[in-house]
């Protein structure tokens, strides 16, 4: 399959989120939230969004379950081409200076891992308050509820996107944009993929690649639901 980002509804919604954060008025807060279930394409979309801005025009940091305030700041410092400064306040000042100087938004992926850590979350709020550059938090579906308990941060969220399951139009777009040009997947099989995947992008792409490989191996230019039969599309757990 081709390696590219397909601009389906969730992707375009994130682009609009970023445009709104960057073009907001001075009285509107600038924190964004992108959330939804695993496998819906959040991280891939985020990387695409950063590439749209230009890799040197944004800071991207991925959080880990083992993160501490020091490790979180050290990863941002690394993105900025610098080593950690101590005491940690010096690192915060350095990041603030660079964000202001270069007008850098901050993207924080897998933010679920740090929502429960007060010092890290307060540091994020400090970075935003000191720069007013867009800060975008990305996490699973529960992150919005968890952040809501941190009122000072939650009240600064002005834009949000909840990732939705891919619909049939999205599945059509994935097939049209990503499959080998010689291969067509029939509408009935695309709808079958949508239903069995629950609209999860990762599973949809797994299914399409499996179908593409089968079509190439069997010299088929169109694959229908009848052709495919009951072959598995991806790993499923059945009781």
Give the whole-number percent of the chain exceeding pLDDT 90.
Answer: 93
What would the pLDDT profile of 64-122 be if each residue is shown by its tens digit? 999 999 999 999 999 999 999 999 999 999 999 999 999 999 999 999 999 999 999 99
Do residues 43 and 168 make contact, with C-beta atoms less than 8 angstroms apart? no
- Which of 3.40.50.2000, 3.40.50.720, 1.20.1560.10, 3.40.50.300 would CATH assign to domain 9-162? 3.40.50.300
Give me the pLDDT at residue 234, please: 85
First to last CA, the chain: 32
Rounded distance, CA 193 to CA 177, Å?
Answer: 16
The alpha carbon of residue 30 and the mean position of all alpha carbons in its chain are separated, in whole angstroms, by: 18
What would the pLDDT profile of 182-196 be if each residue is shown by its tens digit? 999 999 999 999 999
9-162 shares its CATH topology with 168-228: no
Whether the per-residue pLDDT at 131 is higher than 80: the answer is yes
Give me the pLDDT at residue 216, please: 96
Domain ranges, ordered by start, for the chain? 9-162, 168-228
Hey, what are 197's tokens? 């995947």
What would the pLDDT profile of 12-63 be if each residue is shown by its tens digit? 999 999 999 999 999 999 999 999 999 999 999 999 999 988 867 999 999 9
Which class is 168-228 in CATH?
Answer: mainly alpha
3-state SS string for 157-219 = EEEEEECCCCCHHHHHHHHHHHCCCCCEECHHHHHHHHHHHCCCHHHHHHHHHHHHHHHHHCC
How many residues does this entry show for the chain?
239
Rounded distance, CA 211 to CA 220, Å?
Answer: 10
């Amino acid at each position: 399959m081709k390696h590219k980002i397909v601009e389906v509804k969730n992707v375009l919604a994130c682009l609009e989120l970023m445009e709104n954060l960057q073009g907001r008025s001075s009285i509107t807060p600038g924190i964004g939230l992108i959330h939804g279930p695993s496998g819906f394409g959040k991280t891939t979309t985020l990387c695409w969004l950063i590439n749209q801005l230009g890799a040197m025009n944004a800071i991207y940091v991925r959080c880990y379950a083992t993160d501490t305030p020091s490790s979180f700041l050290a990863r941002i410092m690394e993105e900025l081409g610098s080593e950690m400064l101590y005491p940690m306040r010096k690192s915060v000042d350095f990041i603030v200076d660079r964000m202001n100087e270069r007008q850098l938004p901050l993207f924080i992926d897998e933010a679920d891992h740090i929502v429960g850590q007060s010092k890290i979350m307060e540091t994020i709020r400090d970075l935003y308050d000191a720069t007013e550059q867009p800060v975008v938090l990305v996490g699973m579906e529960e992150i919005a509820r968890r952040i809501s308990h941190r009122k000072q941060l939650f009240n600064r969220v002005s834009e949000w996107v909840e990732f939705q399951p891919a619909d049939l139009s999205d599945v059509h777009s994935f097939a049209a944009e990503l499959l080998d040009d010689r291969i067509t997947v029939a509408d009935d099989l695309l709808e079958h993929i949508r239903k069995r995947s629950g609209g999860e992008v990762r599973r949809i792409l797994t299914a399409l690649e499996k179908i593409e490989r089968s079509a190439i191996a069997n010299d088929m230019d169109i694959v229908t639901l009848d052709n495919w039969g009951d072959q598995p599309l991806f790993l499923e757990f059945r009781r």
